[in-house]
Amino acid sequence: MKKNEEVTIQSETIFNGRVISLELHDVKLPNGRESKREIIKHPGAVAIIPFKEDGKIVMVEQYRKAMERNLLEIPAGKLEKGEAPEVTARRELEEETGYGCEKLKHIISFYTSPGFADELVHVYEATGLYEIEDHLELDEDEFVELVEVTLEEAEEYITTQRIFDAKTAFAVQYARLKENK
Amino acid sequence: MKKNEEVTIQSETIFNGRVISLELHDVKLPNGRESKREIIKHPGAVAIIPFKEDGKIVMVEQYRKAMERNLLEIPAGKLEKGEAPEVTARRELEEETGYGCEKLKHIISFYTSPGFADELVHVYEATGLYEIEDHLELDEDEFVELVEVTLEEAEEYITTQRIFDAKTAFAVQYARLKENK
């Protein structure tokens, strides 16, 4: 038994969707009492920080329905079943930006919302970018716009909340730490 | 109409829970086609990066049911209805760590999982920490353990994945940038 483990007494799958599923667990707490946990299951995702030779970061702007607004983010995408994260990273980079990369380096993996979801994002740094002619196309329900930004612009966009999500905020700090080295 | 807006044709609330709710939207895409969007609604949250005088960061370890494991994170918690984020931040800091703070500074706010959830986390830096006797107690279904770590230990815990979530990874980078200044 793990420290402070919450053991499932019974669970129910409320919803099984294309992206996420929702489970409701009755759990036994460490003090013996019972509680309920609402849990989102997600297949996991990758995010890529693509650096151009001149230091610019390649990002994509897209409409995010959950927030009903556009956000400027680093390229990212869901893992397909059985697909290695590095393969997903190269595919998403090509689909969303038209770039291939000579070097793809794993930086970190993190859970995005550990309080209610198991989504794990694997973050990669992509360098040695080159344009791919006849590159892979986006999924038919994806509409993204390429925006290449300097580090200073990215930091400015954080204050104006055009950049407004955790993985991209992490990426901008990563770029700043790299620049300061 | 916003750029690339996805207009809801109809929507359905699948689940309305204690923490999250789940909506399913039929949307009209920018190209006129239709698709479905699975959306998690969340009340929003705060996270606090508490720095002690000696530079140590105050974190909490707790069992996270979605991952079925313990994670070491910066203190955090959900917004109560109508509560200002700064009030939530002071309350969660006190409940989870027993510390009050003289100074609470807003650093950034970010969406954690913009692809499927509207959870917005407001991140604060807390300094001038002092222990509160008879401090606020945790919610009755919360069990957390205080761990005070140096920046070097925090960076080590990222590589060993004891620290394994986006907001805490962001916090450790923030501390490193501050240290390097």
Residue pair A34/A9 in contact by the 8 Å Cβ criterion: yes
Integer Cα distance of A50 and A149 in angstroms: 11
| Mutate which: A1, A67, A111, vs B, most B CBs within 10 A | A111
Which chain A residue shows the shortest CA-CA distance from B115? Answer: A64
pLDDT at B68: 98
pLDDT at A15: 98
Note the helical H segments in B27-164.
Answer: 85-97, 151-159
Q: Catalytic: which of A61, A140, A145, A148?
A: A140
Integer Cα distance of A81 and A92 in angstroms: 15
Residue pair B101/B90 in contact by the 8 Å Cβ criterion: yes
Whether B114 sits inside 8 A of A24 (CB atoms) is: no
**Nearest beta carbon to residue A166 from set B15, B70, B110:** B110
Residues of chain A positioned with their CB less than 8 A from the CB of B112: 112-113, 165-166
Other beta carbons within 10 angstroms of residue B115's beta carbon come to: 24
**Average of pLDDT values for A92-102?**
97
**Nearest beta carbon to residue B170 from set A29, A76, A169:** A169
For chain B, list residues with pLDDT below 70. Answer: none
Closest listed residue to residue A166, CA positions, set A126, A121, A106: A121
Q: How confident is the model at residue A103 (pLDDT cuts 50, 70, 90)?
A: very high
pLDDT at A139: 81
The set of catalytic residues of B is 140
pLDDT at A53 over 90: yes
Q: Is residue A75 classed as helix, strand or coil in its secondary structure? A: coil
Whether A62 sits inside 8 A of B166 (CB atoms) is: no
| Mutate which: B6, B7, B116, vs A, most A CBs within 10 A | B116
Distance of CA B3 to the CA centre of its chain: 29
Whether A65 sits inside 8 A of B37 (CB atoms) is: yes
Q: Which tokens sit at B171?
A: 């916090």
Residue pair A175/A149 in contact by the 8 Å Cβ criterion: no
* Cα atoms found within 13 Å of the Cα of residue A38, Cβ hemisphere only: 14
Q: Which tokens sit at B140?
A: 């009755």
Residues of chain A positioned with their CB less than 8 A from the CB of B69: 2
**Nearest beta carbon to residue A35 from set B4, B121, B141:** B141
**Average of pLDDT values for A28-43?**
96
Residues of chain B positioned with their CB less than 8 A from the CB of A22: 14-15, 22
pLDDT at A149: 98
Q: In the CATH hierarchy, which top-level class contains the domain A45-180?
A: alpha beta
The reported pTM is 0.97
> Residues A114-163: pLDDT tens digits?
999 999 999 999 999 999 988 888 888 889 999 999 999 999 999 999 99
Integer Cα distance of A167 and B113 in angstroms: 9
**Nearest beta carbon to residue A111 from set B22, B33, B67:** B67
| Angle, helix B151-159 to helix B166-180, in steps of 10 degrees | 140
Q: What is the residue extent of each domain of chain B? A: 7-41, 45-180
